[in-house]
Amino acid sequence: MNVFSSDKLEQFLPKVKTILEENLFPLEQAYLHQSFSAVEPELNKVRGLIKEQDLWNPHLSEHHGGLGFNLVEFGQISELLGRSPYGHYCFNCNAPDIGNQELLLGYASEHIKSLFLEPLLKGDIRSCFAMTEPEFAGSNPVNMGTTAVKRGDHYIINGRKWFTTSADGASFAIVMANTNPGAENKYQRASMLVVPTTTKGFHLKRNISIMGEPNDTYFSHAELEFKDCKVPAKNLIGNEGDGFLLAQQRLGPGRIHHCMRWIGICERSFDLMCSRAATRDLGNGTMLGSKQTIQNWIAECRAEIDASRYMVLHTAQKIDEVGTKAARLEISTIKFYVANVLMKVLDRAIQVHGALGITDDTILSFYYRHERGARIYDGPDEVHKSTLARQILKNYGLNTNR
C-alpha cells in the first residue's frame, strides 16, 4: 500500500490517466512539429472537458475553488501530469502560473486578487515571473539591476530580465525589482510588483531560442526590457523589501511540483526505453534488451526513479507538517538529485533508441531540449549541493563561512 496515498487520490488519478491517454498523448506528435500556439485551440478544448468533469485546479484548496489536495497528494498528481508536455497546462497547474497563484493567494491585496488572481484561477489568462537578469549570475539573486522607484502613488521600473517563461501572451508579470538598493540587509532590498504586460514601457524583446527552438506563447522563454514602466503602488505584493521572503515561499512548493513532474517525465522515458529494448531486433531474433549493459541501465533507472519519488514525497510531507523553512535542506537535496536522475534517464532512453532517439519522431528529444535546464533554473545544482554540505559540516563543528 502507498503510505502517501488516500482514497480521494486513488479515485482522482484514474480520471487523469484517461484524459492523458485519450486526449493528450494523441496530440503530441503534431505538437513536436509545430509551435505551441498551433495546438493551443485543441488544448483549450481539453481544458473545457477537465472543467466539466470537475477536475480543475487540483492544487488549490476547496475554499479557493480547487479540489483540496495537500502537497503530498498533489505531488503524485503532478507526476502523472508530467508524462505529457500538456498535462499541467490543461489542469491549470502549470508553471509559472501555479507559483504565481499560490503567491497571490497568500500575500496579495484584495485589489490584486480581484484584478489578476481570479481570472488566472479560471484559466482565462496566463502570467509570468520575471526575476533572472542577463547581467547578473542567477546563482546569487541578491545581485540585481532592475529598480522600482516610488514616485507618488506609482512605481517606475527600469531594467532587463530574461528566461521569463511564458511571457509571450501572458496578461501580467510578477516582477522582482530593487525598491531599496541601499538597504543594509541585502535580503530586504527587493520587492515584487504585478505589472500588466500592456503597460507602457513593458517590452518583450524576443523569445530566446533554446537548443534551436524559440517556440511561442506558453512554451517560450522571453527577454524583457522595462523602460520607465509605470505601475500603481497598489500593485506591490506584501510590503517593500519582502521580495526575497516571497521568493522563498514560492520556491519551496514549486520545487515539489518540478521534481514530481520530472519523475513523470522519467517514467514516460523509462517506459519508452523498456519497450524499445524488448522489441528492437539486433538480428537473428536477438533483442536489444538481452544485452547486459541495457539491463544494467534499466535496473539503475528503476531504482533511481523510485528513490527520487520517495525523497520528494517525504519532503512534501515535511512541508505539509512543519512548513517550507523547516524543510529547506530537503528541498535543496531533491532539487539537485532528481534533476540529475532526470538527465540520466533521458540520456539512457535516447541511447537505447539509437539515432531515432535524437529525432522528433519520439518525445525524448523534446524533453531533452526543454529539461536540460532543470540542473540550472531555481538554483544550479552546485549551489544546492554547497548549501547542503555546509549545513552537514556545521553539525560537525566546521564553520565554512570563514
Q: Which residues contact 215 (CB under 8 A, 6 or more apart)?
A: 35, 36, 207
Residue 201 shares a structural domain with residue 337: no
Residue 152 shares a structural domain with residue 218: yes
Query: Which three cell numbers mark 174?
Result: 510578477
Q: To which H or E segment does residue 13 belong?
A: helix 7-19
In-domain check, residue 137: yes
pLDDT at 279 exceeding the cut of 80: yes
Closest CA to 130 of 169, 173, 96, 101: 173
In-domain check, residue 91: yes
Per-residue pLDDT reduced to its tens digit, 282-333: 999 999 999 999 999 999 999 999 999 999 999 999 999 999 889 989 999 9
Backbone angles phi, psi at 176, to 5 degrees: -90, 125
Q: Which residues contact 212 (CB under 8 A, 6 or more apart)?
A: 369
Q: Which amino acid is at 370?
A: H
Q: What is the CATH number of the domain that holds 30?
A: 1.10.540.10
In-domain check, residue 399: no
C-alpha span between 70 and 98 (Å, rounded): 14
Mean pLDDT across 141-153: 93
Residue 259 shares a structural domain with residue 345: yes
Residues of the chain with pLDDT > 70: what percent?
99
Query: Which three cell numbers mark 159?
Result: 531594467
> Is the bond preceding residue 96 a cis peptide, omega within 30 degrees?
yes
Residue 199 shares a structural domain with residue 251: no
Q: To which H or E segment does residue 295 belong?
A: helix 292-322
Q: Which amino acid is at 362?
A: T
In-domain check, residue 191: yes
Mean pLDDT across 94-98: 95
Q: Are 158 and 231 in contact (CB under 8 A)?
A: no
Q: Model's pTM, two decimal places?
A: 0.93
What is the Cα Rg of the chain in Å? 22
Backbone angles phi, psi at 195, to 5 degrees: -125, 110
Mean pLDDT across 144-172: 97
Residue 17 shares a structural domain with residue 145: no
Mean pLDDT across 79-85: 96
C-alpha span between 139 and 185 (Å, rounded): 18
How sure is the predictor about 344, in pLDDT bands with cuts at 50, 70 and 90? very high
In-domain check, residue 98: yes
Place of cell 549545513: 391
Separation of CA 8 from chain center: 25
pLDDT at 363 exceeding the cut of 90: yes
pLDDT at 1 exceeding the cut of 50: no
Query: What pLDDT, on a 0 to 100 scale, did the predictor assign at position 295?
Result: 98
C-alpha span between 358 and 373 (Å, rounded): 18
How sure is the predictor about 84, in pLDDT bands with cuts at 50, 70 and 90? very high
Residue 89 shares a structural domain with residue 30: yes
In-domain check, residue 79: yes
What are the residues facing 173 on neighbouring strands?
A: 128, 195
C-alpha span between 116 and 196 (Å, rounded): 9
Per-residue pLDDT reduced to its tens digit, 217-254: 999 999 999 999 999 999 999 999 999 999 888 877 88
Per-residue pLDDT reduced to its tens digit, 179-215: 998 899 999 999 999 999 999 999 999 999 999 888 9
Mean pLDDT across 13-21: 97
In-domain check, residue 400: no
Residue 213 shares a structural domain with residue 285: no
pLDDT at 257 exceeding the cut of 70: yes
Q: What is the CATH number of the domain that holds 215?
A: 2.40.110.10
Q: How far is CA 224 from CA 128, 166, 169, 194, 334, in A?
A: 11, 12, 13, 15, 30
Separation of CA 315 from chain center: 17
Residue 272 shares a structural domain with residue 370: yes
Mean pLDDT across 371-384: 90
Evaluated on CA atoms 56, 62, 67, 72, the torsion sign reads: positive
Mean pLDDT across 356-378: 92
Q: Are 163 and 209 in contact (CB under 8 A)?
A: no
Query: What pLDDT, on a 0 to 100 scale, did the predictor assign at position 29?
Result: 83
How sure is the predictor about 402, in pLDDT bands with cuts at 50, 70 and 90? low
Query: Which three cell numbers mark 361?
Result: 519522431
Domain that holds residue 175: 127-237
C-alpha span between 210 and 373 (Å, rounded): 10
C-alpha span between 156 and 253 (Å, rounded): 31
Mean pLDDT across 385-396: 92
Q: Are 181 and 189 in contact (CB under 8 A)?
A: yes
C-alpha span between 278 and 139 (Å, rounded): 42
Query: What pLDDT, on a 0 to 100 scale, did the predictor assign at position 175?
Result: 98
Q: Which residues contact 93 (CB under 8 A, 6 or more apart)?
A: 57, 58, 59, 74, 77, 78, 81, 257
Per-residue pLDDT reduced to its tens digit, 121-141: 999 999 999 999 999 887 777
What are the residues facing 221 on neighbouring strands?
A: 165
Total tally of structural domains belonging to the chain: 3
Q: What is the mean pLDDT of the chain?
A: 94
Q: Are 273 and 88 in contact (CB under 8 A)?
A: no
